[in-house]
């Protein structure tokens, strides 16, 4: 039997982990798995998996499927029952490779975590819908706006009194302002041009762009994992996305503070319903005041801004661009520390 201390690191994980050895016996389960299944490890470790779990047909089918294809299999809502205890419903991933000394590994999550993902999907769908609505609206507003501006210009030529021009100028200027807002609502629909991109070159570009426009009291520190491989992406789009996120941070810090660009490898990440064994995480961290509580649920919706003179288009555009590059963006914010994390598959 393998010593449990080997797997001590699993014990701090919030997801349940259960390992089955080459001989078909349970060799280890972490405390999250004990809690989920409702049985202590001492009762299960050393017992044959087949005898304990064999009657859970859906689970067995998932394990068989993983073995046959030699790939990771995830079942989202699986009943598991052991030793006559009431069944629990879990979301279960079976890993057959990358599991030294064991025949397979089960990763178990309570179903509410799946609901959380479903809720995120729901929010994403709403954001998508509201963006689509705005795009259509912007499209409809653009044409008559051109007509209004043109008519105001013609009218201006016909005016007999110079003092009346003030009014036509208001019409023209406001039409121009609306026009540029509409343009910005309409832009992001370019098909990405994918190539191999070094994320650190992207970050360095953003850094120098930002430093050029940033007050002296703000510094940008780098904390890069330079061993990360290149990713397949559209570098212009990534620059735009990171710039939008980082610029918000600079603006929030109001002239004084520190920004950190951090890159790391991330393991076992679910991006848009697909699980990736390896992904890249880019954190943009600031020590400003944090995102106002009332805005937190909404900042990825278009036209939501907490800033005087803000358009509320920066983050929705960043999110669209990141999604076009198969990535995801999320954030965690409290006063003194806001982290926006961008994930990309490797």
Ligand X SMILES: Nc1ncnc2c1ncn2[C@@H]1O[C@H](COP(=O)(O)OP(=O)(O)O)[C@@H](O)[C@H]1O
Can you give the binding site for ligand X, defined by CB under 6 A?
244, 248-249, 252, 286, 288, 290-291, 295, 299, 304-307, 310-315, 338
Positive or negative CA dihedral for 161, 164, 169, 171?
A: negative
Q: Report what 338 binds from Mg ion, ligand X, none; CB cut-off 5-8 Å by kind.
A: ligand X
Nearer to Mg ion, 288 or 314 (CB): 314
Tell which one of 15, 30, 56, 248 touches Mg ion (CB under 5 A): 248
Nearer to Mg ion, 86 or 309 (CB): 309
Nearest approach in angstroms of CB 74 to Mg ion is 36
Please count the other Cβ atoms lying within 10 Å of the Cβ belonging to residue 188. 18
What is the C-alpha to C-alpha distance for residues 166 and 182, in angstroms, rounded to an integer?
A: 24
Rounded to 5 degrees, what angle do the CA atoms 303, 269, 7 make?
145
Backbone angles phi, psi at 249, to 5 degrees: -65, -45
Nearer to Mg ion, 41 or 290 (CB): 290
**Spatial contact of 30 and 56, defined as CB atoms under 8 Å apart:** no
Q: Report what 305 binds from ligand X, Mg ion, none; CB cut-off 5-8 Å by kind.
A: ligand X
Rounded to 5 degrees, what angle do the CA atoms 117, 333, 280 make?
60
Tell which one of 110, 188, 288, 314 touches Mg ion (CB under 5 A): 314
Lay out the site mask for Mg ion across 53-92 (x = CB under 5 A, - = otherwise).
----------------------------------------
Nearest approach in angstroms of CB 137 to ligand X is 18
What is the C-alpha to C-alpha distance for residues 318 and 300, in angstroms, rounded to an integer?
A: 9
What is the C-alpha to C-alpha distance for residues 333 and 315, in angstroms, rounded to an integer?
A: 15
Q: Report what 102 binds from ligand X, Mg ion, none; CB cut-off 5-8 Å by kind.
A: none
Nearer to ligand X, 79 or 310 (CB): 310
User: Which residue has its beta carbon closest to Mg ion?
Assistant: 314
The CA-atom distances, in angstroms, between 38 and each of 16, 27, 41, 44, 186 are 11, 17, 10, 11, 53
Nearest approach in angstroms of CB 186 to ligand X is 16
Do the bridges between strand 102-110 and strand 88-95 make them parallel or antiparallel, or are there none, so unpaired?
antiparallel
Nearer to ligand X, 234 or 286 (CB): 286
Binding residues for Mg ion, rule: CB under 5 A, are 248, 314
């Amino acid at each position: 039997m393998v010593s449990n201390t080997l797997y001590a690191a699993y014990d701090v994980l919030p997801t349940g982990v259960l390992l089955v050895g080459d001989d078909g016996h349970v060799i280890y389960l972490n405390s999250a798995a004990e809690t989920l299944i409702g049985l202590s490890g001492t009762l299960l470790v050393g017992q044959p998996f087949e005898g304990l779990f064999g009657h859970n047909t859906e689970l067995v089918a998932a394990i068989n499927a993983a073995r046959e294809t030699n790939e990771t299999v995830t079942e989202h809502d699986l009943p598991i029952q052991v030793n006559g205890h009431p069944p629990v419903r879990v979301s279960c991933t079976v890993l057959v490779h990358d599991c030294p000394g064991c025949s397979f590994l089960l990763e178990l999550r309570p179903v509410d975590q799946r609901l959380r993902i479903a809720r995120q999907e729901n929010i994403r769908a709403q954001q998508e819908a509201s963006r689509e609505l705005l795009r259509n609206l912007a499209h409809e507003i653009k044409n008559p706006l051109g007509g209004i501006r043109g008519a105001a210009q013609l009218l201006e030529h016909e005016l007999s009194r110079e003092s009346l021009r003030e009014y036509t100028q208001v019409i023209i200027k406001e039409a121009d302002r609306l026009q540029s807002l509409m343009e910005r609502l309409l832009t992001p629909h370019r098909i990405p041009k994918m190539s191999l991109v070094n994320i650190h070159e992207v970050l360095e570009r953003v850094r120098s762009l930002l430093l050029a426009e940033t007050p002296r009291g703000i510094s940008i520190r780098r904390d890069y994992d330079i061993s990360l491989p290149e990713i397949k992406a559209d570098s212009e789009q990534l620059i735009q996305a990171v710039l939008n996120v980082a610029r918000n941070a600079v603006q929030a810090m109001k002239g004084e503070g520190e920004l950190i660009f951090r890159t790391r490898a991330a393991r076992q990440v679910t991006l848009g319903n697909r699980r990736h064994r390896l992904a890249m995480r880019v954190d943009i961290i600031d020590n400003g005041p944090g995102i106002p509580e009332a805005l937190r649920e909404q900042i990825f919706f278009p036209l939501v801004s907490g800033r005087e003179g803000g358009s509320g288009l920066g983050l929705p555009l960043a999110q669209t661009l990141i999604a076009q590059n198969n990535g995801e963006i999320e954030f965690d914010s409290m006063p003194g520390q806001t982290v926006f994390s961008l994930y990309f598959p490797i």
